[in-house]
Amino acid sequence: MSPHQFNLYRLAWPVFVSQVAGGLVGFVDIAFISQINEEAAGAVGIVTPYLLIAFVILPILSTVGITVAAQYTGAGQKQFISPSYLLNLLICSLFGLLFFALTVLFHQQIGLWFNLSHEVNRYVSDYLLVFAPAFVLLGVSFAYGAILAVRGKTRWNMYIAVTSNVLNIFLDAVFVFGWFGIEPMGIKGVALASIIAFSVGLLLNFYVLHKLEGIRFSRDDFAKQRSLLRPFVSIGVPTMLEPFSYVFQQMVVMSLVALLGATAMAANTFVLRLHFIEIALGASLATAAQIMLGHFAGAREHEQAEQTLYRALKVSCCFALFNMLLVLLFYRQVLGLFTSDPEVVAVSYQLILICLLMEPFRQLNIVLGRALKAVGDAKFPAIIGMSFMWAMMPVAYLVGIEWQYGVLGLWWCFAMDEVIRGSINLWRWRTGRWRDMAIVEQAQASAA
């Protein structure tokens, strides 16, 4: 398939709808939990970095297959496309199983890692034990979704995501409020609703890919796995190191927020939920651009790649600013969905002001980071990302804890991190060094 058959916005809008549907579920889940117990909602929000394994690391892991398959498609090496799909599916499944096992083993300790009290931690423990199978379900589902995306069939992903996420919201209400004579299940019901909905989504993915799209894996695809390991490792290792580092950094951040008390925990949790629309847009444009850039890089069409990236950046950064201005204008009404505590609302308002600066640069990082990886320059954004993430932590501790600027001090530090990293990644792209880093050429050189 020629990359010129793709259109950035036609690829991106179904991904955007899928992302919004997924973000809306997280938004609604917290809202349902807050109806049960506001302290429980804050606690689950604090362990969000651990849940990011499912909702950030696994999707990003699946994009390794998008990059590899797209570059082979652009280069016309069709014999490696199906094996790329299969290897991506196997890797995502194994990681999902690993995270499932770790969650089951440590579900009683995870909340304590974030400095939660034993009393509050029981909410987290109950939730994570029921939620644990989601890691496996989502690992396989994201791999299937990546196959559909790289083939330009992002609409199927949208239909599946909307169906499973609407089901999730409906089941939240059933299990929390005890509809249809079911015993109210509290926070466990919210986790169980997710498991059922993700299972339905996986079944739909399986049906669409194998039945409607006619994808079949053969013994020959298994035999070619070894020849694909080098391009997968060259893109996959840097791609995975940065989100892993981000998740662990966020664990440290949330443990610091927990030290600041219930108000800081609640405000931090609620404002994070207000970002999901622009983050969804950035992720959708990044995914669409990644697909197209992979094809263009494989075909050595660099000018088309440049144009595609700048279109994605323009839309994502402008939308992020517009979205946060809209949230700022109606912040009382939006925050009223979560809390009526005036102190929490006041702190949340200050965090929203910080987001006016932070969110456009966050979009710059999301889109540029994925773009550089798509064209083979994966190491640079990974090194920059990990270096600045951890270099900022002592500063954040000093400002937020030692100097007692609290959660506002923490967020200002992280805003500066986004600004600096975004600027450096933009400089890297403009140097043009990525033009000679296509992984298809690396694979050919290795074979030679």
For residue 26, the model assigns a pLDDT of 67
Helical packing angle, 262-273 and 225-259, nearest 10°: 140
SS (H, E, C) 125-147: HHHHHHHCCHHHHHHHHHHHHHH
d(CA 330, CA 236): 41
Q: Give the helix ranges, DSSP H, for 47-153.
A: 48-52, 58-74, 81-106, 110-113, 118-131, 134-150
d(CA 198, CA 15): 17
- Confidence (pTM): 0.70
Q: For residues 399-433, b (16+ Cβ closer than 10 Å) or e, as one string?
A: bbeeeebbbbbbbbbbbbbbbbbbebbeebbeeee
DSSP 402: I
pLDDT digits (tens, 9 = 90+) for 379-438: 888 889 888 888 989 999 999 989 989 999 999 999 999 999 999 999 999 998 888 876
d(CA 245, CA 386): 6
d(CA 81, CA 87): 10
Q: Decide: 310 and 356 in contact? Cβ < 8 Å.
A: no
Q: Please compute the mean of the pLDDT values over residues 65-72 and round it to a whole number.
A: 70
Q: Decide: 232 and 61 in contact? Cβ < 8 Å.
A: no
pLDDT digits (tens, 9 = 90+) for 305-360: 888 899 999 999 999 999 999 999 999 998 887 788 899 999 999 999 999 999 99
Contacts of 166 (CB under 8 A, 6+ apart): 21
d(CA 152, CA 7): 9
